[in-house]
Structure 1
């Protein structure tokens, strides 16, 4: 019963997220090219800030895709559009003003895509909203970049038309516009040049939060179809999470967390996997299923509490920030491969 009834909707969101990732990679390439092309110090400074933000935002988008748990490829039309834009950006057919203008449109496309994913998530499930939550920070920064790009375009356009510099007071108006649309929260998010990348604790906590949402949705539903949908996602998420931890995290922490405590984590996850397989074989209309999932939730949440207390404390005390961020990168890569494997198995089995 692992297949979810809302697979079509979840897959559509997965494709949209793949589109967003591909566009984000193009945005980064554009900004790298712009920095080589411009000699204006003020524009260069802002482009460097954009590039730093966008590289971090690519990491956030990759985290969201892994957290979401549905691996898809971008649409062919988007891939073709990206190839066309890349050629234009690297060629000499367009002026610098025209290239930046197209770049601002890409930023707008990213903002709208992020908004649509958020609105679609509201229709599909609370677990989807939990998974795509970090995307909100990317949306705020893209909107802030848009406003600054308008200022850059005004300067470049006036130079192109007149050969003279525009009124530099445009930057004051740009900052006013950013403050107007973002408010206090948005302003805090857009000032993200010094924010750290996610560490392994952040990434695992995101997984834990999503799983908790799925357990809550199941507990509150008496609809066998919805129970099947949510358990299907729960099965995939817990399986990928556990295998990635066992591949990347547990071997790394064993030396300082202790042999017996680390083995306890392995044993708890073996129990969890056994329960998942047992529940998978039960019909979603069987009254027994919710009790069995409740028992699984108790086991999983005990495991979560241990990880977020003693394990996380041990990680903070024994690993540097750089090491925990690298672990997060390795964990996400491992989890992504596991998700792809599970999707292939499900497709082959016709479930």
Structure 2
């Protein structure tokens, strides 16, 4: 049976996310270069803050791409464009004002791409919305950066044209705009702006929310093709999630979570994998298909409740923030590797 939801719309979103990652790397490269080329300490401080945000947001983008679970290469024209911009930024043809102006255009492009992905997700499926949720923080921070870049451009432009410093009044308006955007973003921005990455509980919880959404979408559909496609995504997500937990999370928590409780998690996932393969072999038009999917859902939700209550509590009580974030990084890397392996095996 078909085991994928990689339709045209989903692949288009995957390509946009991959293209955003390429642009994000270019933004980081530009900001590092600006720090070495700028003499104004106030402007350097703002670029340092942007750089820290953008480095964090590269990690957020990687999280979104892994959570989304549909792989694509960046658009060819985006790859070509970034190479040309990199050449211009590293050369001497452009003034510093012109380089920052190009950077502001890239930031605008990144902002619009993030907003488009968010809007497209609303049309394509609730599971897509669940997967890309962390992107909201990136979108709001990019908009805030745009406002700051306007102020920087005014100062650099006036200096280039007249040799004199611009009035500093715009900085106050920039700060007002940034504060307003932060207010709109609310807890989304403040929740993650003070840390470089999500912890393992955050990342696992996102997986749980996405698969629960997929179960709901499947149950609400009466179209055998869509049911088949939704199960295909459930199959991929659960297979990769379970294997990544068994490679990274369970060995790490076993010493303090306990041998018996940890083994119970392994055993539950072994049963889940057997049922996944049984359902995969069934006809999605069969009346027993949804019955078995709901058996799987009950099994998964029981497993989720154990992880999110007792296992998460054990992690909070026994791991530092750094250890939990490191576990999340390793878990995402394992998922990325396993997704690529699974995609190759399903071809």
Q: Report the TM-score, using the length of structure 1 for normalisation.
A: 0.95
d(CA) in 2 for partners of 1:113, 1:77: 15
Cα deviations by residue, 1:145-178 (Å, 9 ceiling, x for unpaired): 0000000000000000000000111111112333
The secondary structure found in structure 2 opposite 1:337 is helix
d(CA) in 2 for partners of 1:5, 1:242: 19
Tell which deviates more after alignment, 322-331 or 218-227.
218-227
Cα deviations by residue, 1:242-276 (Å, 9 ceiling, x for unpaired): 01001111111111111111111111001111111
Is residue 140–residue 182 contact of structure 2 (8 Å, CA) maintained in 1? no
Cα deviations by residue, 1:200-235 (Å, 9 ceiling, x for unpaired): 110000000001101111122222122112111111
Give the deviation of 1:15 after TM superposition. 0.9
Give the deviation of 1:2 after TM superposition. 3.6
Q: Report the TM-score, using the length of structure 2 for normalisation.
A: 0.96
Structure 1 runs of 4+ with >6 Å offset: none
Match of 1:103 in 2: 103
d(CA) in 1 for partners of 2:179, 2:250: 44
1:72-221 to 2 correspondences below 5 Å: 72-180=72-180, 182=181, 184-186=183-185, 189=188, 193-221=193-221
Is residue 179–residue 187 contact of structure 1 (8 Å, CA) maintained in 2? no
Is residue 236–residue 342 contact of structure 2 (8 Å, CA) maintained in 1? yes
Match of 1:298 in 2: 298
1:1-351 to 2 correspondences below 5 Å: 1-4=1-4, 7-180=7-180, 182=181, 184-186=183-185, 189=188, 193-347=193-347
Is residue 97–residue 153 contact of structure 1 (8 Å, CA) maintained in 2? yes
**Gap regions ≥5 residues in structure 1:** none
**Gap regions ≥5 residues in structure 2:** none
Is residue 141–residue 189 contact of structure 1 (8 Å, CA) maintained in 2? no
The secondary structure found in structure 2 opposite 1:71 is coil
Higher relative contact order (CA 8 A, sep 6+): 1
Give the deviation of 1:12 after TM superposition. 1.4
Give the deviation of 1:346 after TM superposition. 1.5
d(CA) in 1 for partners of 2:336, 2:146: 31
Note closer, same or farther for the CA distance 1:148–1:254 as it changes in structure 2 (3 Å cut).
Answer: same
d(CA) in 2 for partners of 1:21, 1:47: 19
Note closer, same or farther for the CA distance 1:188–1:158 as it changes in structure 2 (3 Å cut).
Answer: farther
CA RMSD in angstroms comes to 1.4
d(CA) in 2 for partners of 1:271, 1:101: 56
Give the deviation of 1:113 after TM superposition. 0.6
Q: How many residues align?
A: 346
Give the deviation of 1:88 after TM superposition. 1.0
